[in-house]
Each structure stands twice: as C-alpha cells, then as structure tokens.
Structure 1
Amino acid sequence: MPQEKLNNTKPHQVAVDVISNLNSQIDTLPTRERKVAGYVQNNLESISSMTIAELARVCDVSTPTVVRFCRSVGCEGFREFKIRLAQNLAVSLQYLVVDSHETQRSDAGNIDQIIGALSATVNIMRKQVDHAALSQAADLLGQARSVVIGGVGGGASMLAEEAANRLFRLGIPTIAVSDSYLLQMRAATLHASDVLLLISASGEANEMLSAAEIANGYGASTLAITRSGSRLSEVAQTAIALDLPEDPDVHKPTASRYAYLVIIDALAMSVAQSQSSQTTENLRRIRASLTAFHGRTGPQPLGD
C-alpha cells in the first residue's frame, strides 16, 4: 500500500516558462497550433484579456486546437496558459523588447558606462543613508560575540561573503550563509550577544524575513541592509534602508551592489576605528602570517 500511494502521488509541479517553450517549439507544432503560436508571439501583452473563444476566432482555429496548443507548451489548459504567460511577462518583458537605439559594442564605452553608473548610484546612496542607523549598526557589530551574515541569491550572497571577509579580520567571529535552510538554522542558534546581518536588495525574500523573526525571537540583534519600505526593513531591529534605481539596460550589471559594498566597507571601517589597537594587532598578525607563508614583503593593500 505505501508503494502504491507513492506511485499515485502527483509529481511536483515545476515552473513553466511558456515563452521559452513557445519559441523553441513553434516550428515543430502542427499547422493549426502553429497559427495560434504565431499570433501569441506577436500579441503577448493582449492574450491575458482574451477568452479562449476570442483567441480561437482571431487565429481561425477551433477552441480544442487552442487547448492542444496550451498543452504543447506545458500547460493544462487555456486558463493556466494565461496565468503562466502573465507571470513570465511580469519579469521578462524588458528582455523581449529590443532597444532600437542599441549602440555598437565598445570596450572603452562600456568602461565609461559602468563607472558612470557606479558614481551616480553611490552618490544617490550617500544622500539617502541614515547615519544614525549606520552608527548603531557599527556599534552592534563591534560588540558582537559572533555575527551571522545572510545573503541569498547572486548579488546578496557575494555581498554577504565580502562582509564576512571584512569583519573576521577585525577579530569578530563571522560566517556568511547563502543557503536558505542553513540560514534559518543559524538564526535559531543566536543569543542576545550575537548579531544577524541580512543583505537583500528587494527586502521581500521570505527566507530573510523568517531568519530575522527567528533571531528576534531568541533575543539576538538583527540588522539589515535593504530596500527602504520593504518588509525586511520593518522586521529588522536596525535597518540601513536605501532606494536605489536600476539601469533599464538589461546587459549592464546592476550598479546597486557597489553602493552596498560602500555601506559594508563603512561599517567595517567604523568598527575598526572603534577598536583601533585590537584591529591593528589583528591585521598585523594576518599580514605576518601571510608573509611567512608566501615570503613576499613588498607593498600590499594595508586593509587586507
């Protein structure tokens, strides 16, 4: 019986990228389904307001053909197809519209664009940052028995690693966590003298909110570097909240991560200055151990 129940269990439903399925399968679809596919490709934004009968009529096919088309691209029927398409469009439209003013690739021009975006974003951050929150965060980090830094996703996980890289040099036991389950587990081990620092550009990731609530429940201090007005900025006890613009050019890496790095460096510098003698000795010992390891005594970054 247990085996029979297992075999009858409905498999986990994975996310369906109907736009990708449509583009990859259109040439292999039966002729009448291909008529539906062609219309959908050219009218992506209007499908959500159409009924199955309306779509069938404009494509000059039957409603069963529309249903067969929906199943061909991974959906149970027209209703699910419309939902999946709307979800895809919500995040994909900016990648589907080609900029008619697209410029030719230029390495020198790209460098200038990246530097320009970096400078503009950091200047916006400079005007927004709450210095009282920054000071409070630095005080909590400097007094912490240990610090867990959470960052889930591409940019946030990199920033969490860099924050841990900055703080352990100052003599603070620090670990970066990018696994969502492990983040919950680490948060549950924290006490009143510990700090949970969460980094999230959206401030809406459920794993971040859950970790903050767990740490709050056990009396730990919770800090967040995140978007202003987000749920995480409200749940964290101390929030360095920013509202940074993103460049509409999807080919350009986000510049906001540079602003987050400036915040991280400012926190590390404040902690280092508040514990100058201990920090200096830690950095000296680190440099001495590396010199003994690789033998190089020439100029190197002093903060590293």
Structure 2
Amino acid sequence: MSDSESAETELPKRGQAAVADLISALNRIDGQLASREQRVADYVKANIDSISTMTIAELAGAADVSTPTVIRFCRSLGCDGFKEFKLRLAQNLAVSLQYIRPDVGEEPASMENSIDHVLAAIYATTNAMRKQLDPAQLELAKRAIVGSKQLLVAGMGGGSSVLAQEGANRFFRLGITSMAVNDSYILQMRAATLGREDTLLLFSASGETDAIVAAAKVAGAYGANTICISKPGSRLASVVSIPIVVDLPEDPHIFKPTASRYAYLAVLDAIAMSVAYETREETTENLRRIRSSLTAYHGRTAPQPLGD
C-alpha cells in the first residue's frame, strides 16, 4: 500500500458514507470536474469492473494523471480517499451489475408468461423450503407461542415487514395478544419490555439486519423466547433461542418479485395452524366471535374464509 493510501482516514461507519451510490454520483458529476479529474472519471467508467484490483498509482498511470489528482477525484465523489472509493465502488458493483447489465430478455413478458414465471418461482422456492425445514424447530416455536402472554412480531424492509404484520394478524385471532413492529427504534424499546412469558418472532431474509439482531439479543437477555425465520449461518440465527432456517434460491431476473416471502408465509401459516389445533377450544370460540362481529358489522352471511 502506498503512503497516500495508508495515510487516508478510516472508512466511515455503516450508513455514514457521504455518497451511498458512487455509480450514480459518477454519472451525476460527468462534465463538472476539472479536466484531469474528469480524465480519471472517464477511465473509471470505461473500466469499472477492474478498478477494485488497482492501486492508486496504477489508476493514476492508466488515466495519465498524478496520484494527488486521483485523491481529489475521490473526494469530489464524497470519499475521504482512494481506499474508501474502492470499497464503496466494490459494494455498489456487487448489487448494481445485475441492473447495469440485466438479463431480462428483449421482449416484454406477456401477462400469461408473467403468471407462469411467478408461479414457477413460488413452486421452486416452497419446494426448497419444505426439504430444509426441521419439524422439531417448528414444534418448539409452537410451544413457545402457545405459552406466550404476548407475542411481538417484527421485520424490516418490504417483504419482512409485511410478514410481521401478517404474523400479528394471524395470531391475535387465536387469542394471543400480538403486535407487529417495523420501526427499528420502537422494536428496541418493545423488545426491552418482554419477559419470560413473552415471545419475539422475527422475520429476516438475510439474518443480518442490525435492528433485528439487536432486538433478539435484548429480548433474550430478559428471558423472552426468541424465534426467527431466516437464513442459516446468519447472525440472527445464532442469537435466537429457536432458529427456523432455510436457504432459499432467488431468481436473478431483476423484474420478478422475490418468491421467498411466499415460503416464509407458508412457514408462518403452518405454525399458526398448529397453534390453533393446540388451543382449539379457545381458538374456535375466538374465530366464532370474530365472524359474528363482522356479520353484525357488514351484514353478510355468505361463505367466507373461515380461518381469516
């Protein structure tokens, strides 16, 4: 490592980068840089795949500029220096290449093909899930929820937050006091109120979301049951008391919605159904009262989903 690189400051902590998306920043400042810095920008854009393996001296030589010019270019993009620039660019490329060079086919999908594609992904994902599930872990989750005074269900992001809401929606019908949370600060506070008679149920496709992992640790420290439906080998799976883990395939097609949420939903429904059987007398009465209340509210008596 050169003196210029070693003298650079430490990389900013997660979430504190001045520029989150360097690829967009490169396009945004195109033509607005000093001529020598623009030369670096042009070289980077033309050779974006290889920058992460280059030293600052190599990039300077390839762009025919000095190393201080490269550092000024990096700072123009909001980075402290070349070290941070390379890291941020590598992080961006890891998630952006599939969008920069998408493999989505040249023709738009017909509605019929779209339905078939979505259903095929659901079948493949749920089949993969079924082969990996450990019934013993599902049984432990059922017992924990049945014995709970209150159930806190949480998830961050699009799919997981929807699953959390559905989890609370599913279990309150069975007579279990349930609440869904998708705000990181509220989750930390709620987790701290849980005790030995309570359960925290967490959804996370990655198992690496800081707020979710932190909540599991907090609730577990106060003696609450902690359950996750997540990825094996993740930080979350390692800190909860009852990990339910599945490694699910994801289609690289960028326009196809993720199918893993259907598999997680199936796991949730299976646990809810087993809880309902375990508490069948109370559950049956709760469902009857809910249905009677809705009938009195809207006046409809036609057949409707009984468990919903």
Same fold (TM over 0.5): yes
TM-score (norm 2): 0.89
Q: How much does 1:93 deviate?
A: 2.4
More helix by share: 1
**Kept after mapping to 2: 8 A contact 1:246/1:255:** yes
| Separation in 1, partners of 2:276, 2:104 | 50
Pairing 1:258–2:246 present: no
Q: Aligned in 2, Cα 1:175/1:14: closer, same or farther, shift over 3 Å?
A: farther
Matched with 2:12 is none
**Kept after mapping to 1: 8 A contact 2:229/2:243:** yes
Deviations 1:192-235 (A, max 9, x none): 11111111111122222222222222111111111112222221
The residue identity in structure 1 corresponding to 2:112 is: A
Q: How much does 1:101 deviate?
A: 4.5
- Between 38-47 and 94-103, report the one with greater CA deviation: 94-103
Matched with 2:243 is 239
**Kept after mapping to 2: 8 A contact 1:16/1:74:** no
Matched with 1:154 is 158
Q: How much does 1:267 deviate?
A: 0.8
**Kept after mapping to 1: 8 A contact 2:203/2:228:** yes
The residue identity in structure 2 corresponding to 1:232 is: L
Pairing 1:200–2:204 present: yes
Pairing 1:40–2:44 present: yes
Q: Aligned in 2, Cα 1:294/1:234: closer, same or farther, shift over 3 Å?
A: same
Structure 2 residue aligned with 1:212, among 195, 209, 216? Answer: 216
Pairing 1:29–2:41 present: no
| Separation in 2, partners of 1:127, 1:243 | 10
After superposition, residues 1-16 of structure 1 pair within 5 angstroms as 14-16=18-20
Q: CA RMSD in A?
A: 1.8
Q: Aligned in 2, Cα 1:67/1:218: closer, same or farther, shift over 3 Å?
A: closer
After superposition, residues 218-229 of structure 1 pair within 5 angstroms as 218-229=222-233
**Kept after mapping to 2: 8 A contact 1:118/1:255:** yes
Q: How much does 1:124 deviate?
A: 0.7
Q: How much does 1:13 deviate?
A: 5.0
**Kept after mapping to 2: 8 A contact 1:157/1:177:** yes
Matched with 2:131 is 127
| Separation in 1, partners of 2:71, 2:221 | 50
Matched with 1:107 is 111
Matched with 2:89 is 85
| Separation in 2, partners of 1:65, 1:46 | 19
Pairing 1:294–2:292 present: no
Pairing 1:279–2:277 present: no
Give the length in aligned residue pairs: 293
Matched with 1:66 is 70
**Kept after mapping to 1: 8 A contact 2:104/2:255:** no
- Between 106-115 and 91-100, report the one with greater CA deviation: 91-100
Pairing 1:52–2:52 present: no
**Kept after mapping to 1: 8 A contact 2:19/2:79:** no
| Separation in 2, partners of 1:88, 1:13 | 12
Deviations 1:244-277 (A, max 9, x none): 1111112211110000000011111111111112
- Between 219-228 and 55-64, report the one with greater CA deviation: 55-64
Identity among equivalent positions (%) equals 58
Q: Aligned in 2, Cα 1:100/1:116: closer, same or farther, shift over 3 Å?
A: closer
| Separation in 1, partners of 2:34, 2:112 | 48
Q: How much does 1:104 deviate?
A: 2.7
Matched with 1:9 is none
Q: Which runs of 5 or more residues in structure 2 are unaligned? A: 1-15
The residue identity in structure 2 corresponding to 1:113 is: H
Pairing 1:249–2:256 present: no
